[in-house]
Structure 1
Amino acid sequence: MSRAVRTAVLLASFLGMIFLGAAPASAHGFSSVVYVDVTNGDDGHVRTKLSLEYDLFVVSTADASKDDPLFRAGTAAFDDRDDRAMAAAVTAKADEAIRYVTDRFTVSSDGQACTATRAGDFTMGVQEGVPYTTVLLDWTCPRADEHEVRTGLFPDSEGYVKGTKTIVTYEMDGHSGSAALDANMPSFSTAQTWYQRFGEFFRLGAEHLLTGIDHILFLLALIAGSRRPREIVLAATSFTLAHSVTFMLAALGVVDVPARVVEPIIALSIAVVAGWYLFRLWRRGDHATDLETAGHSHFSLDRAGWTRLGVVFCFGLVHGLGFAGALGITEAFSWTLLWSLLVFNVGIEVVQLAIIAVVFPLLILLRRRSPKAGLWATGAISAGVSVMGLVWFVQRVFGL
């Protein structure tokens, strides 16, 4: 086996591992996000405001309580998108609903469990076009300056969603901040340090990219169509800068674009970026990776490079709305959480650069050892990515 063929096999194996690792958990549609605000309540209580995806909440509660009437009433109200009927369905089974929450979401202080009491009625709202139920709980705790919040809501074991995230904002005990909780990091202390808080969001950003097959495919399309390291690094960085802009604007409540618009465009962007390289292969053949006369700017990109960079930046703006939607960010959060979300973006960028650092040198080596094999490999990757992007575009436009 020649060195060029061995390199091609190694490249294909690495990409295969990425696909196999990312495929089971898409960034969109298979997970849920719970939102929790923690504040000091009256009479020394801890007040928590929990917002939970309504249909998931109903199904999970009904399953845990073996309550078929709740399931029938709740799902019928959900199908009709009747807010009053949805709130009434949960309120009629308030004990079961609260039991489901408090069995999986707890507050403690000094190692002692706090006792929860419902404060007010269930209310309805909308996050990214999806009905959410909000419930207020007052927790009676031993007096302490530090509280621990722990969550196990909507676990994978229930079989309905995978990788539930719980985004917590808190302002109490003289501390304020935010936390991102999941099965790997199920709890936090209100006295946690800033670097612990940011570390959680860095990890969340890294996992979000690694478990999002559509974002991985977009990155692979960028890698396959890049001709030299400078191009791919600039493309990935411009993509990160662009999605950071819209991600933060969404977090500030400045922009709010429905998922039914964002998600098809994300799928189309994957197909377009991959198809762009296929078109270049069709027009230029063996010279598809040749550089035109470079400009005299600091980046030394040719016209094709600058055009591609602009297209990637524009699509990055749309992907930022997708990231915001995946975390359910549809209203302004605190400045503390905004800093955490910036760290979330840093986590995405670090993982992008790590993938580039592994894949792109293999691609360059393959192109140098066997230009034909390099063209075939990148063409095959781009064709596969383009087809997947088009399939997703049709599915998301027609709701399949």
Structure 2
Amino acid sequence: MSAVFRRVLRVLLVGAGVLAVLFSATPAQAHGMSSVAFADLSSGGTGVVRAQLQLEYDLLVVSAADAAQDDPLFQAGTAAFEAGDAAQQVAALEQYRDDVASYVGRHFRIAGDGGGCTPTLADGITMTQQEGVPYAVLEVDYACPPSENGHEVVSTLFPDDEGFVTDTKTILTYALDIHEGSTVLDAEHPSFTTAQSTLERFWEFFRLGAEHLLTGIDHILFLLALIVGSRRLREVVIAATTFTLAHSVTFILAATGLVAAPAEIVEPTIALSIAVVGAWYLWRLWRGGKVDQDLSHAHGFLRLDRAGWLRVGVVFLFGLVHGLGFASALGIDEPWSWTLLWSLLVFNIGIEAVQIGIIVVVFPLLVLLRRRYPRIGMWASGLLAVVVTVAGLIWFVQRILGIE
């Protein structure tokens, strides 16, 4: 079996060059070019809702200027962005505050029972940074008619049809209408009402967690590498559980602001983890390790050899890094609260639901293929491991070099 597989593996590795060319066209960030906006709502007095918005500076400039290169805001704003001068960036927004206020008013709307609220951009635009990216901080007061059933918030900031980014998410926190909490708005679910129930709010975070794993091809490839490298059910269960525990710890700590790590380290390490776990399986096969999987629980569920426990340890360390990636993607920036903690736990449950679904579908198929058609099963497992390894290496290089 070992000699046969070595010949097969040589053929597969030759094909890896072709796969490298194909994957080299993919972006360094497997999640694609996206943006996160932050909105914090509170009462500004009778009939007034105060919104603090944090918007990515360069996107705000080009969007408010309608991407017209001859627009004064476009010219002044992009020059300030390229200069990296926060004071110059604030000056550009203040000089053309009417254009900025008009864009924000059209794309971040609040309404009450009696109709829409009228926005007014307050004085004192400032700058901050999120993950090293400059963000403009805007204070907007919305004068609202009397409302007895809460307020509806609609965010269409930086929509897909502007052509600059895709899948913009607005992380909304609020202490308004005797309610407080947080939610996420996006293109599919752009609106929220403060009369929303706790169950509805938690469903938003569950959906966001499930969508994040489904659309995050790097995390899916890592999971596939765990599956293809597991010979028995207990191995994939132990590996997946270890991964879950590890990323849950760092996800909660990072999302609540207790730990932090720069994306320049987290993202390349996630890519490297994909390559390492995929290559681990190929290395074991090259050394003549077993490739069969079975569903037996013989010899104790937690009984693994030394190599198996070493693999679990590696998965745990990489799981810690993946948790930082999950937290970065969610992008929450708010004080700790029980509502926030429960929302994060529900987000994590959404991730785990998809992860379990993938294992339930893929692992039995590999088992069946390897039992019924051993040679085809070996080819399929080897090819999948090669694809995972090559993709991880390419993303690692791209993220190290900052290639989009």
Instruction: Judge same fold: TM > 0.5, yes or no.
Output: yes
**Shift, 1:126, TM fit:** 0.6
Say whether 1:303 aligns with 2:301. Answer: no
Q: Which runs of 5+ in 1 are unaligned?
A: 1-18
Q: Deviations over 1:40-71 (max 9, x none)?
A: 11243111111111111111112267762222
- State how far apart, in whole Å, the 1-side matches of 2:70 and 2:61 are: 10
Say whether 1:157 aligns with 2:155. Answer: no
- State how far apart, in whole Å, the 2-side matches of 1:362 and 1:295 are: 21
- SS of the counterpart of 2:287? helix
Q: Aligned match of 2:318 in 315, 318, 330?
A: 315
- State how far apart, in whole Å, the 2-side matches of 1:196 and 1:172 are: 17
Query: What is the TM-score when the length of structure 1 is the normalising length?
Result: 0.89
- State how far apart, in whole Å, the 1-side matches of 2:78 and 2:69 are: 15
Q: Rate the CA distance shift 1:57–1:345 in 2: closer, same or farther, 3 A.
A: same
Q: Which residue of 2 aligns with 1:16?
A: none
Say whether 1:109 aligns with 2:112. Answer: yes
Q: Rate the CA distance shift 1:290–1:139 in 2: closer, same or farther, 3 A.
A: closer
Say whether 1:282 aligns with 2:286. Answer: yes
**Shift, 1:250, TM fit:** 1.1
Q: Which residue of 1 aligns with 2:40?
A: 37
**Shift, 1:303, TM fit:** 2.7
Query: What is the TM-score when the length of structure 2 is the normalising length?
Result: 0.88
Q: Supply the AA of the counterpart residue of 1:69.
A: P
Moved more, 56-65 or 262-271: 56-65
User: How much identity, in percent, do the aligned residues show?
Assistant: 62
Moved more, 165-174 or 305-314: 305-314
Q: Aligned match of 1:239 in 199, 219, 243?
A: 243
May I ask how many residue pairs the two structures share in their alignment? 378
Q: Aligned match of 1:82 in 80, 85, 101?
A: 85
Q: Which residue of 1 aligns with 2:191?
A: 187
Q: Which residue of 2 aligns with 1:356?
A: 359
Q: Rate the CA distance shift 1:222–1:298 in 2: closer, same or farther, 3 A.
A: closer
Q: Aligned match of 1:143 in 129, 146, 169?
A: 146
- The alignment's C-alpha RMSD in Å is 2.4
Q: Deviations over 1:306-339 (max 9, x none)?
A: 2222211110110111111222346644431221
**Shift, 1:356, TM fit:** 1.3
Say whether 1:212 aligns with 2:216. Answer: yes
Q: Which residue of 2 aligns with 1:54?
A: 57
Q: Aligned match of 2:373 in 370, 385, 389?
A: 370
Q: Map residues 117-132 of structure 1 onto 2, 5 A cutoff.
A: 117-132=120-135
Q: Map residues 196-275 of structure 1 onto 2, 5 A cutoff.
A: 196-275=200-279
Q: Rate the CA distance shift 1:175–1:321 in 2: closer, same or farther, 3 A.
A: same
- State how far apart, in whole Å, the 1-side matches of 2:390 and 2:103 are: 42
Q: Supply the AA of the counterpart residue of 1:46.
A: V
**Shift, 1:240, TM fit:** 2.1
- State how far apart, in whole Å, the 2-side matches of 1:120 and 1:180 are: 27
